[in-house]
Amino acid sequence: KATRIEDAFGWVMGARLLHVHRDVCQTPFLRQMRDWHPDGNGPDDGLDAVAGCILHDPVRLPRVDMPVKRADWRGIGGIFRAESHFNP
């Protein structure tokens, strides 16, 4: 149970992606989060339930805007053949 809670909340909180509705503040959930310890025997049913939801939810990656296409910095482009006096 502790591993599941750590796996679910670890990356979400590390990425600062955990958002809760203001009504959640009136429930034991925040207290369970604050007091939770992986080796503890405290109440964690709310954390476990939410962890299950997080782990079953598909990961939604943020939209990444592609950079603006810029003019070629190499000038006219094309192929250039350089004279070489190299003998291997």
Distances in Å between the alpha carbon of 47 and those of 22, 30, 31, 43, 55?
Answer: 17, 9, 10, 9, 12
Residues of the chain with pLDDT under 50: none
Give the whole-angstrom CA distance, residue 48 versus residue 3: 10
| Digit-coded pLDDT (tens) for 59-82 | 776 666 777 777 777 666 677 788
Give the pLDDT confidence score for residue 75 in this predicted structure.
67
Give the pLDDT confidence score for residue 39 in this predicted structure.
85
